Chain A
Amino acid sequence: MGKVKEFRFEFEKPAPTLDDEDEETLAAIDEGIQDADAGRTVPAEEVRKRLTEWITASSTRKEH
């Protein structure tokens, strides 16, 4: 006789991870949510452009 399955996978409802976020992380997430709700967002393509700027700025600052 076949073995009864003890559980089944629900791909649409993944199990939450066990490690909890601390209060600071949750506050930062909430800040991000507020930004998103207020429309303070930037497209991913724009972020790639800014990446180069940040690196250049930080490298330049170090030289000084």
Chain B
Amino acid sequence: MDYRLLYTQRALNDLAEAIGCIAEDDAEASSRFGASLLDHVDLLARVPRLGSVVRRRSRVRKLLHSPMLVYYRIDEKKRLIEILHLRHAARVPPRRLPRRRLGGHSPVARAMILLCASQRRILRSRHGALILAGLIGFVCGGRAASQPQTTAAGAPQVQKIDPPNWWVGPPSPSTCRTELPLPIGLATAPPLQVRDGRLGAMLPGRTASIYVPL
């Protein structure tokens, strides 16, 4: 008998974010990737041990659907597969960001990169995330007031950055991205105004992604 497949809320958020990111550029590609990912995960219902064991969480396994890693656990008694978390396999933690990459960027960009790389602990709390968002708003507000905003053709490249892991990936970081935990009860069309940035994928009552150009 096949196992029953369940997605946790965390996994749903991860999936929605990934799909939303791709859909903003190419809805068709997003649909294809989403369907193939779900098809792959569906295989677990028949072959639960398809994924490899996570060393530091022995009851958790991971399945690679490039470029995504799918973390899951098996409940043998209930015949359940629970999808716990989905993650881009190419993510680079901030501590691995070479210092030399900071050279060649403006002082504001350098400050943002260092800020992003040091926010992991702060962002673990909701209040910390809000404080950080305020800081970013302050920095970006100052930047917007002092110089004209670059156009879309000005080559800002979107880098994937997610809390609680603010980080900037290679090769030329120009955009910071974060998720803000939304207050419970805040539904769609939130009164969120992003200055010198833009609001990305949003899960009502959960999180909102915000892109801030460096």
Question: B-contacting residues of A (Cβ < 8 Å)?
Answer: 11, 14-17, 20-29, 31-33, 35-36, 40-44, 47-48, 50-52, 54-59, 61-62
Against A, the Cβ 8 Å flags (1 = close, 0 = not) of B14-38 are 1110011101100100110011001
Tell me whether B6 and A51 are in contact (CB under 8 A).
Answer: no
How many residues of B are counted as interface, with CB atoms below 8 angstroms from the partner's CB atoms? 50
Tell me whether B20 and A57 are in contact (CB under 8 A).
Answer: yes
A42: nearest chain-B partner, CB-CB? B7
Instruction: Please give the distance in Å from B29's CB to the nearest CB on chain A.
Output: 10
17 A–B pairs (Cβ distance < 8 Å), ordered by A: A16-B54, A17-B62, A22-B93, A28-B85, A31-B84, A31-B85, A43-B6, A43-B7, A48-B35, A50-B16, A54-B15, A54-B20, A55-B20, A55-B31, A58-B23, A59-B24, A62-B24
The yes or no answer to B136 lying at the interface (CB within 8 A) is no
A23→B9 CA distance, assembly (Å): 20
The yes or no answer to B168 lying at the interface (CB within 8 A) is no
A62: nearest chain-B partner, CB-CB? B24
- Choose among B11, B19, B49 the residue that contacts A32 (Cβ–Cβ < 8 A): B11
Given A16-B54, A24-B93, 8 other A-B residues pairs in contact with their CB atoms under 8 A: A16-B52, A31-B84, A32-B11, A33-B73, A36-B6, A44-B38, A54-B19, A55-B19
Tell me whether B6 and A29 are in contact (CB under 8 A).
Answer: no
Tell me whether B87 and A28 are in contact (CB under 8 A).
Answer: yes
